[in-house]
Chains A and B, each alone.
Chain A
């Protein structure tokens, strides 16, 4: 869309799909907008407390080293230093993932990656804390290291931690392979025999960081009585509460965690890094402690996503029918189990209805930071590899890329590549919308190439608890437990307003702290608008039921004879009696005298998160002199089920595409032969800037999710699944050489061009 065609989409008329929603589907101003444009909004690092200390962390300069001795005496002697902590200050006797988290938060007897925390100090100023870090002496015995996934699986590779493999791993594999996955159906070899063309290729993607602009930050206070408070930027404060309590040996309910405004997360703020450290320092010093990571600490010790080495084999008939698909996915997730290889495997072929499919996954440990979720964890790399091979097949068989995808597309009732049959899904609709979009048929200039890709993500429900209280004047206060990263408070208010029949502005949404609601899962898995939204609708419905009851009592009729309409109780039919509509504000004005406050609640673990699909189209131009790629046009088509706040749905589509562009073209963790991260800053780890990108056009497809009252599907993650492949396909077409290793940075494109010229 050209800039001059654009009108701000307030009111959202363009998006109404014929449902008789009054508020849902409009794009009003967000409730936290004012605070965020005036600098008032308080993020993780913006909170202070009286008597507060500042903390800093000592980190390993080695990729792999035994910690022989830590001498804190010189630091402790520095004026202004109030506490120093090491692993000894945390709980013992942990196991499983809780142990992994502690081991990552503070090294035990071995530093496992460059940047691994070894000790921490709290002092009266940030400058003193930084000086004190330099006075802590750590004696290391440097060990052999490995940072590459394929190297780490080879015989003779250094063992990160013996005995970490679980029962899924077949005999004979290197101890760094800690989990194994195999799934599929049919007979792939028989399928390949039916194909007219079989293509098999090897693909690699490098680790990327979520790259949220706000570094991790917290303010923590813990007394020796076992009661504490944490203020932090997190995607899930109940998870912070639970994990911190475990790592410090506290009762979970003894800790109260408040989620600050959060400056981006993308999955990277679903776990803990500094919060337990600040708590341990606070307990020792007897004062509140603020701990804020530097950007280089964020790169070295948090995130990133897994890197992948993949082999894909797909067979196709001349008419475009896929006969079989086979994939091997090796992911490293740092020095801990947990690389999302089963997600990679299960997402890889999920867009297609396949008779014969097989996937194998390996979770491999290396001397890198513990991987964290990143937007549809595991799926983008799978789509890159699979959709690249499909592109090659189309090219060699002379078939249209969208027609082939439509021919094989999963539909309602299709047995998915990962097992269950799909319910109502919208892949075909996104492909049809992409085919009809002017972008798909627009002419290309010389030197440009066009790429297409589909993408898939599961979406998620999870434990959810929501509470809504009505005020005397008929306005509503909604408390949800899922931190708002991209405007979800607006979506919640829209859904509550819809059910209550009161204006959007009359609903105030608060992200409640852990003491105010039951457990809420993290804001991840694109679950917020789905699960907190569903719970909001139900909680508002609960309040409406109580409002109707008060009206029934007032009118002296049965509760069943009252219904709720446009914010008023009305008799449900002519037989119910003749009463004037009773507006919400009249009922709430007298609620103290008619039975007490009126609230609505809902708690559940909803399981109907509808899966979602997207199709992206991209045009890229490659400069053969420099190897630089310019993305000249980009279109996202994605199924939202129902877009509650269309402008923020578009924002999710555009943001995912932009992150995908960065992943495809520039972003990567670069390790030197010494195993140290070489680009731990935004200058050398280059995320897309404004001048790198075009406008990103969006098409919101709405195929309602049967598992949500308004049809919502999560939208946050699917948008990062297609870009890697779409861009690789566009770049490969533009450059005339197939790119099978991301990122396609200028040097790698030049190298590929050169190699081809000499071939």
Chain B
């Protein structure tokens, strides 16, 4: 079983790793790069807990192979805060009690940030449809949607 050498970028850092061709990007992030923020809820693209962005595009890292990361720029939940400063979405999630167990939170934060980059002023319906690929079993989504809307408003005011 021979491994493939991959050169990529994760949260702005240059990263190299060796991986089996069968390993997913999620496997590589979690087991080879020790970035356990992205979670595996299903491994089949149905829950969004593994959401990351690849060159700015939202993807399920469980559906992408590790070797496909070659030459790409990957962003995970670990890269959302800037040093000590939480991103407005992170602050609003805590403030609005938008997480109960928190297992869905990393994926939802990545997905929500990606939404706000494209659409700084989404409607409630737009938030709900954008996040429809991110399952949360605890909250009923109410407080999540409110947190995203509130963060969007704060970010609009700040810009």
Contacts and interface: CB of A to CB of B under 8 A. Distances in A.
Given A6-B146, A215-B41, A651 B138 contact: yes
Contacts of A689: 131-135
B90 interface: yes
A34 B30 CA distance: 20
Contacts of B95: 8, 10, 29
Contacts of A42: 36
Contacts of B69: none
Interface stretch (A158-166, A540-548, A549-557, A690-698): A690-698
A690 B138 contact: no
A264 B104 CA distance: 10
Nearest to A689: B132
A38 B90 CA distance: 8
19 contacts: A3-B145, A8-B95, A33-B93, A38-B90, A125-B20, A213-B101, A214-B39, A263-B39, A263-B104, A264-B103, A264-B138, A486-B101, A487-B100, A654-B142, A658-B141, A683-B46, A689-B133, A690-B141, A690-B145
Interface in A265-309: 265-266, 292, 294-295
A3 B100 contact: no
Contact of A39 (B22, B35, B104, B144): B35
Interface string B68-84: 00000000111011000
B94 A34 contact: yes
B103 A30 contact: no
B80 to A, nearest CB: 7
Given A37-B109, A651-B138, A691-B129, A32 B101 contact: no
B36 A39 contact: yes
Contacts of A696: 140, 142
Given A654-B139, A654-B142, A690-B136, 14 more contacts: A30-B97, A38-B37, A43-B39, A212-B137, A213-B39, A213-B49, A213-B135, A214-B101, A263-B104, A264-B138, A655-B139, A691-B125, A691-B128, A691-B131
A682 B44 contact: yes
Contacts, number: 193
Nearest to B143: A651
A545 to B, nearest CB: 34
A486 B100 contact: yes
A39 B37 contact: yes
B137 A659 contact: yes
Interface string A251-266: 0000000000111111
B42 A486 contact: no
Contacts of B146: 3, 6, 8
B100 A45 contact: no
Contacts of B53: none
B128 to A, nearest CB: 4
Contacts of B23: 127
B90 A37 contact: yes
A261 B106 CA distance: 14
Contact of A127 (B20, B44, B105): B20
A264 B141 contact: no
Nearest to A36: B102
Interface of B: 1, 20, 22-23, 27, 30-31, 35-44, 46-47, 49, 76-78, 80-81, 86, 90, 93-97, 99-106, 109, 124-125, 127-129, 131-146, 149-150
B100 to A, nearest CB: 4
A485 B139 CA distance: 12
Interface SS, A side: loop
A211 interface: yes
Contacts of A40: 37
Given A30-B94, A295-B42, A681-B42, A213 B137 contact: yes
Interface extent on A, as a size class? 35 or more
A691 B49 CA distance: 17
Nearest to B45: A683
A652 B67 CA distance: 41
Contact of A37 (B36, B93, B132): B93
A651 B139 contact: yes
B94 A485 contact: no
A10 B150 CA distance: 14
B93 A211 contact: no
Contacts of B128: 690-691, 693
A190 interface: no
Interface string A651-681: 1001101110000000000000000000001
Interface string A223-267: 000000000000000000000000000000000000001111110
Nearest to A660: B140
B103 A3 contact: no
B94 A29 contact: yes
A112 interface: no
Given A648-B97, A682-B44, A693 B141 contact: yes
Interface in A627-659: 647-648, 650-651, 654-655, 657-659
Contacts of A39: 35-38, 76-78, 106
Given A8-B95, A39-B77, A39-B78, A213 B41 contact: yes
B33 to A, nearest CB: 12
A647 B96 CA distance: 8
Contact of A485 (B36, B44, B86, B100): B100
Interface in A32-66: 32-34, 36-43, 45-46
A27 interface: yes
A265 to B, nearest CB: 8
A687 B48 CA distance: 13
Contacts of A125: 20
Nearest to A698: B142
A693 B140 contact: yes
Interface-centre pick from B42, B49, B101 (highest chain A CB count, 10 A): B101
